[in-house]
């Protein structure tokens, strides 16, 4: 599997300090697993979580696995970086990236989290750094940093989210949307997935097994979209063409090919 072509619909976070969640994750349908050493792990369990993450990736999860390390400047960063570099993780997730200076190299493709005002403003530069394979929106941290009230919707995040997608697209890398915290509100998650896909995100980061089916479905592509894409490619013969009820041009063929490529990439990753 070529990871550069891989575009997950769902990336499931779990605390690496939680052995039950690690075992559960092995049987789940997430496209990517992200073992967390950062905010989901209390300070007195960081060493234990680091060792557990390294051990967990030895066995594999049936999908690409990332380890999220603690940020540059934290007391755990150096040990985390070294552990990931020597582990079998497919990706490293680095939180709170604010500039190329706050990137760290482990030899693994890097998913850089954009979750501070400075990070958003530097997103285009960060996305183009060597080794960066994707950007992840950290919407909890962003909301807190921007002082958006906890009950508010995503209106105040729209500029940041679109900046993240623009930066990723400009660099040709993937963009993953932030998490939905309300565990008992699947309808709200559906709505946010639709919004995230409409913004151009490739997939969503999720925090609970019950969120996987929803995000997989809404970040598609589903059978009807694939049928439409194949028929569109077959119908196109250059210029501007009527296809079913709409006008298509060459960029629509490119988009249809991308959609089919995404579905094939997911099948290969299975």
Ligand X SMILES: CC(C)(COP(=O)(O)OP(=O)(O)OC[C@H]1O[C@@H](n2cnc3c(N)ncnc32)[C@H](O)[C@@H]1OP(=O)(O)O)[C@@H](O)C(=O)NCCC(=O)NCCSC(=O)C[C@H](O)C(=O)O
Kindly write out the interface string for residues 101-130 of this chain, putting x where it contacts Mg ion by CB under 5 A and - elsewhere: --------------x---------------
Q: Is 63 in the site for ligand X (CB under 6 A)?
A: no
Among 8, 119, 134, 138, binds Mg ion (CB under 5 A): 138
Q: Is 64 in the site for Mg ion (CB under 5 A)?
A: no
269 alpha carbon, distance to own chain's centre:
15
Sole window of 17-25, 122-130, 162-170, 257-265 interacting with ligand X (rule: CB under 6 A): 17-25
Nearest to 175 by CA among 114, 255, 259: 114
Strand partners, 68: 36, 93
Complex with ligand X: residue 36 or 98, whichever CB lies closer: 36
Strand partners, 77: none
Gap between the Cα atoms of 216 and 9, Å rounded: 5
Joined tokens for residue 199: 């913004």
Gyration radius of the chain over CA positions:
19
Give per-residue burial for 210-219: e unless 16+ CB within 10 Å, then b. Answer: ebbebbbebb
8: helix, strand or coil: coil
Among 14, 89, 93, 160, binds ligand X (CB under 6 A): 14
Kindly write out the interface string for residues 183-222 of this chain, putting x where it contacts ligand X by CB under 6 A and - elsewhere: ------------------------xxx-------------
Got the DSSP string for 112-135?
EEE-SHHHHHTHHHHHTSTTEEEE
Q: Is 178 in the site for Mg ion (CB under 5 A)?
A: no
Complex with ligand X: residue 7 or 139, whichever CB lies closer: 139
In the complex, minimum distance from the CB of residue 5 to ligand X, in angstroms, rounded to a whole number = 25
Q: Is 141 in the site for Mg ion (CB under 5 A)?
A: yes
Got the DSSP string for 157-209?
GHHHHHHHHHHHHHHT-EEEE-----TT-HHHHHHHHHHHHHHT-SEEEESSG
Q: Is 115 in the site for ligand X (CB under 6 A)?
A: yes
In the complex, minimum distance from the CB of residue 162 to ligand X, in angstroms, rounded to a whole number = 17
Among 8, 119, 134, 138, binds ligand X (CB under 6 A): 138
Q: Which helix (H) or strand (E) holds 142?
A: helix 139-146
Q: Is 202 in the site for Mg ion (CB under 5 A)?
A: no
Please give the size of the binding site for Mg ion, defined by CB under 5 A: 3
Among 140, 236, 252, 260, binds ligand X (CB under 6 A): 140
Contact 227, 35 (CB under 8 A): no
Q: Is 139 in the site for ligand X (CB under 6 A)?
A: yes
Among 39, 47, 191, 225, binds ligand X (CB under 6 A): 39
- Per CB under 6 A, residues contacting ligand X are 12-15, 20-21, 24-25, 36, 39-40, 95, 115, 138-141, 178-179, 207-209
């Amino acid at each position: 599997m070529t990871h550069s072509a891989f575009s997950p619909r769902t990336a499931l976070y779990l605390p690496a300090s939680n052995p039950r969640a690690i075992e559960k994750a092995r049987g789940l349908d997430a496209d990517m697993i992200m073992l967390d050493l950062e905010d989901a792990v209390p300070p007195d369990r960081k060493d234990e979580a680091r060792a557990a993450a390294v051990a967990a990736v030895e066995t594999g999860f049936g999908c690409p696995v990332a380890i999220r390390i603690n940020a540059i400047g934290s007391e755990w960063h150096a040990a985390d970086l070294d552990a990931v570099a020597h582990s079998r993780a497919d990706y490293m997730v680095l939180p709170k990236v604010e500039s190329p200076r706050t990137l760290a190299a482990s030899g693994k493709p890097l998913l850089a989290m954009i979750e501070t005002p400075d990070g958003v403003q530097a997103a285009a530069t960060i996305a183009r750094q060597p080794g960066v394979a994707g950007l992840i929106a950290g919407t909890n941290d962003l909301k807190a940093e921007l002082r958006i009230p906890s009950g508010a919707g995503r209106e105040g995040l729209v500029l940041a989210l679109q900046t993240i997608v623009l930066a990723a697209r400009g660099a040709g890398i993937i963009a993953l949307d932030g998490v939905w915290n309300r565990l008992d509100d699947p309808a709200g998650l559906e709505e946010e997935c639709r919004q995230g896909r409409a913004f151009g995100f490739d997939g969503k980061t999720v925090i609970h097994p019950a969120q996987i089916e929803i995000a997989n479905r809404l970040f598609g592509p589903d059978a009807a979209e694939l049928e439409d894409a194949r028929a569109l490619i077959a119908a196109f013969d250059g210029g501007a063409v009527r296809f079913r009820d709409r006008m298509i041009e060459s960029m629509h063929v490119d988009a249809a090919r991308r959609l089919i490529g995404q579905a094939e990439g997911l099948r290969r990753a299975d």
